[in-house]
Structure formats: structure tokens, C-alpha cells
Amino acid sequence: MSRSACFPSRAAFALCLGFGLTACGEQGPEVQRGVPLEYVARQDGETVIPAVSPAYLNERNRRQWVDYTGPEPVGSLVVDPYARFLYHIYEPGRAMRFGIAVGREGRGFRGNATILRREEYPYWTPTANMVRQEPETYAALAAGLPGGLDNPLGARALYLYRDGVDTMYRIHGTMDPSSIGKATSAGCIRLFNQDIVDLFDESGLGMRVKVRSPEESLAMEGPVVELSTGYLVSASDTAAIEADKRMVEAAAAAAARAAVAAPAALATAG
């Protein structure tokens, strides 16, 4: 049982443990309608991985074939924590791109690494620091949590090493599919469980991984803007940025009107 630096936000973790997978955005067979084939519910050994809600499958989140012009060799993975993408390079100039969620730990490493450990439904143990700082959340789990869909590492995990030393950097599944495409308060690099299962099957020990720096991300992906939803868009997508701005302004105006109306309503009721 090894400790992992990857873990969910406190709120997400408490929600998932307290109310189960439905509270974390996972849904039952009824979600199959309108779900792309790669994200429908699937049998994984004795476990059924629920379908991914179409609400989470925006253009940047859904896996897709893309042209790739980076310098990394065929057969390697490239993680971009800043554009929130992961690339699996299949052939010169061509890659499969996945949307990812990135936690604080996911932005704390850059450069080259190698996959030297692979686990299906990995065990997860909170660090001593987590238990010490948030005992009300993690003390009861100090001995660890068995693998499963309610585990922060999800269905699979790939463990990155540099010069034979564990970097504590993980590429893994998720207990919270609504987080994919967003920045989270904690954790490493997480994918939809369907994506990490397929990526796991196509990866192997010794596979090379490149984690981009902010400068490399900007050079390869261009500037991005985070919307009020938590999702990123290209800075050139002015339509999406303006629409988000109008939505935020409308919500603020509605809240202001409600604040003004509330005292008057109380006075009338009195």
C-alpha cells in the first residue's frame, strides 16, 4: 500500500463518500441515449463503469484524433496541465487527445518521466500531511481505501518515475467525472474512467511521458481563458468568452434585483 500525492478536493471527496456515485455525476443506463460509443457504460471485470453524462463531453473534454506537431516521439504521452490536454502520439503528426482535470500536484512537475508501475483499481492512501491538516475528512481513511469507482484514483493509474525514483505524479481515473476539463484544488492528472482504461491498455512499462511547462504549453497550444464554468477555451474564441461574460453579468444583475426585492417583500408580509 503506497501513499499517493494524488487526491480529490475535500468537497468532492466528502460528497462522493457521503452520497455515492450518483452525487458525483455518474448516472445509470438511461444516460446511454446521446452518449458517444466510447463513453457508454461498460463492463470492466466485475465492475460496471457508468456512462459519462453528455453534459461533461464538450469539445475539449471528449477524446479525439488531432494533428500533432510537437517534437515528442511516436509511442509517448504528452501531458499539458495548463491547456488541460493529454496526447498519445500514435504516428508522426497524429495523436489521440484526451481532456483532463488537473489538481495542484499536477502542476508541480514538468519534464520527462517514465511509466514504471501500472495498477488496475489502485489502492489509495491519504498522506500523513492530509490526515494532519484535515483529520475530520481523512483520519478515518488513514489506513487507505481499496480500489473501486469511489476511490480517488478511479479505474486505473499510471505511476511516473524519473531516474528510477517515484515522482508521486500519477495519470489516473476519477471518482468525479464533472471535474474533467477543470482545475481542482488537489490531485494529479485525471481522465474519465473510460479514457484511462483504454489508455492503460495501450500503454506499457517503460513508456515515455513528457509533462509540459507553462512556456511549452503557450508555444504549442496558444493562450487560453478560463470561463465561469471552470472550462477553458482558446483566447481566440471571442464568441464563447463574450457569451460567458454576458451570462455572468446577467446572473449578477438577477442577484442584485433579488437582494433589493427581498426587504420589500418582508415588509409587505409583515
- For the annotated catalytic residues, the residue numbers are 172, 188
Q: Which helix (H) or strand (E) holds 167?
A: strand 165-172
The string of DSSP codes covering 237-258 is: -HHHHHHHHHHHHHHHHHHHHH
CB–CB of 17/23 below 8 Å?
no
Pairing verdict, β 77-80 and 208-211: parallel
> CA dist 7 to 22, 181, 222, 261, Å?
19, 16, 29, 43
Nearest to 136 by CA among 3, 24, 11: 11
Rounded to an integer, what distance in angstroms lies between the CA atom of residue 50 and that of residue 103?
Answer: 23
Nearest to 191 by CA among 30, 22, 40, 63: 63
Q: Which residue type occupies 40? A: V
Residues contacting residue 60 through CB under 8 Å, at least 6 positions apart: 84, 85, 99, 181, 231, 232, 233
* Greatest alpha-carbon span in the chain: 74
